[in-house]
Structure formats: C-alpha cells, structure tokens
Amino acid sequence: MSRTLLIAFDAGDALNGAAFCQQTGAYDVIQVMGEPKLDLGAETVTTWNLPSQPPAEYLANALKDVCANYTRIVAVSSMQAKDGLARLAGLLDWPMITDVIELLGETKFKRPILAGSVITTVELNASTCLLTFRPAGFGQPTIGGNSKHESIKPTFTGVTKRVSATVREGGRPDLSSAKVVVSGGRPLKDAETFEKVIGGLADALGGAVGATRAAVDSGIAANELQVGQTGKIVAPDLYIAAGISGSTQHMAGIKDSKVIVAINTDGDAPIFDAADFGLVMDLYEAVPELTEKLKK
C-alpha cells in the first residue's frame, strides 16, 4: 500500500506540496518550522516547530526511523530539500528522483535534465523512493480535511555546528511561491539602482524580486534572488524581466510562469521569443513609468 510522507520545511512548503501529495493518495506531513495554517487533507500533521532549519545531518538522522512506515518520502524542490533528502537516501539506501515535474502513475515520472533543455520519463524499479518535485505543474490543492495534529520534539544527533546564518529581510513575498516576480539583469548598474528600479516595481505589484546569474555574480543582487536552473525555479502568474536577454539557464527557471513580460533595448534578445508581451524600450524609462502607472 502506497503511503507518502511530505517533509515541509515551513508552512509555504506544506501548501505548495499539498496538490502533489493529494494526487499520490494518503499522506502525512512533518513540518519543520512554523505552524500548519490550513487543513490540506493530510492524515497526520506532525509539527516540529523549530526556530531554524536543522543541518541536513541532523534532519536525516531524525527522519530515518519514521521512513519505514512509508513508500514515498517527498519534498518541494529547494536547496534544503536536496541537501536533506539526498542524505536520507544515503541512510536508507533508497533511490531518489530529483525535480519531478509530472506524475505518470505510481512508478513513472517526468523530470528535466541538461538545465531543462530535455525532459525525460523515468521509471522506478523499486518499491520505495525519495523525490523532490516542482509544484508548478500540479495545480491547486483541495483545501479542507480532518488532519490529526501532533507536535513532537525530534531527537537530533550530529557533529555539524552552525556558526552563523543570514536571515532574509522581511517585507516581500517568497520568490518561489510569489504571484508576481520582477527580475533584473546585468544592465542594472549597481545594487542601489537594482533595488530602486526592480524593487520599486515589485513593491508596486506586491511581488518578489528576482535576478539573473549575471546580476548576482556582479554583486548587484543577493545570491538567494537568482532565478534559473542553478537558482530558484519560479512559476508566478506574472513574470517581468527587465534588462534580461534570456539565457537557456534563466529561461529554464521561468518557463512555467503564466504571463512573461520582457523589457529590453535589444529587440533581438532571445527572451522576446518566449515572452507573451515584449516591450523594446530602455528599462530606465519603461520600468519607472510602469511603476508609477500601476501604483495609481
């Protein structure tokens, strides 16, 4: 009998992961940080309520024994999910499938390879597995249910020590689950300009800020804002790309967005082929004008 355990690192994961889990059948949730906000049809929701994310070594050790009750251990794709679940795969000696984008029955899955330039169908030849999935392809979850709630204090063992950690400044929605994302590229000349122009439009729309790898590498945007195959995969209702040419690497991270807008002075930039609406214009004119007019 198939049974799924969703490892939700926070309430956002519990929500973003629910639609996928509802399609796999009966499921339970372990939520690492925060309190469950909605009933999403899980049978049991176990809350750890930790003040910060545990290192993968501690997480995997704490989860190892409970996994025996399940056939699937799943998590929404993220850096911490890949860090922790793959370690758990090593402890359990279970196979793992990374970045599932579509379910084709209980043992067949679709997943991208080569930075999203090829999609493969893979078949699991084992009774159990761990997997991470990108929630964009699984629709909206059914809200409601009768979950049993429990709160436990996990037993952590390990030798890793955290020295320090940065905490995201509050205010803007989480990039991976935001309804609107405004991203900027290398043409934004410095961090201050980036924040003023891109951040200004994002705030006018209540959206999150993203950036290209080039913008991050040149130091004008923070690492965690990077959108693309090696950064965050986003799928908002509206994605606005300003001063972004549209590398394969970047497009792999945004192609599931509902509406893509491109603003770029180079009318031949590849992003215009994928954008629903392209505006060939200097972003320093277009973005402030858009910000002003959308504020009203």
Partner 1 sequence: MKILVPIKRVIDPYAKVKPLADGTGLDLGNVKFDINPFDEIAVEEAVRQKEKNSEIQIIAVSIGGAEVEEQLRKALAMGADEAIHVETTDQLDPSIVAKELQAVTEEIQPDIILMGKQATDNDNNQTGQILAARLGWPQATFASHVELGDKSATVTRETDTGEETILLPYPCLITTDLRLNEPRFIPLPGIIKARSKPLHKRERQTTDTPRVAVLDYVAPAGRSGGKKVGSVDELITELKAKGVVS
Whose CA is closest to 279, among 201, 195, 194? 201
Q: Which two tokens stand for residue 155?
A: 């037993």
For partner 1, the closer of residues 41 and 236 by Cβ is 236
Q: Binding marks (x or -) toward partner 1, 84..103, rule CB under 8 A?
A: --xxxxxx-x-xxxxx----
Cα separation of the two ends of the chain: 55
Q: Any contact of residue 181 with partner 1 (CB under 8 A)? A: no
Number of residues that bind partner 1 (CB under 8 A): 85
Query: Among 19-27, 66-74, 142-150, 218-226, which window interacts with partner 1 (CB under 8 A)?
Result: 218-226
Touching partner 1, residues 227-246 (CB under 8 A):
229-230, 232, 237-238
CA atoms within 13 Å, Cβ hemisphere of 239: 33
Tell me, what amino acid is at 183? S
Touching partner 1, residues 253-282 (CB under 8 A):
255, 258-261, 267, 272-281
Residues 174 and 78 sit within 8 Å (Cβ to Cβ): no
CA atoms within 13 Å, Cβ hemisphere of 262: 23
Tell me, what amino acid is at 39? D
Those residues with Cβ within 8 angstroms of residue 225's Cβ, 6 or more apart along the chain or in another chain: 175, 209, 210, 211, 216, 231, 232
* Shortest Å distance, C-beta 150 to partner 1: 26
Touching partner 1, residues 141-180 (CB under 8 A):
158-168, 176, 180
Among 113, 140, 190, 282, binds partner 1 (CB under 8 A): 113
For partner 1, the closer of residues 17 and 112 by Cβ is 112
Touching partner 1, residues 52-91 (CB under 8 A):
53, 55-57, 60, 78-80, 82-83, 86-91
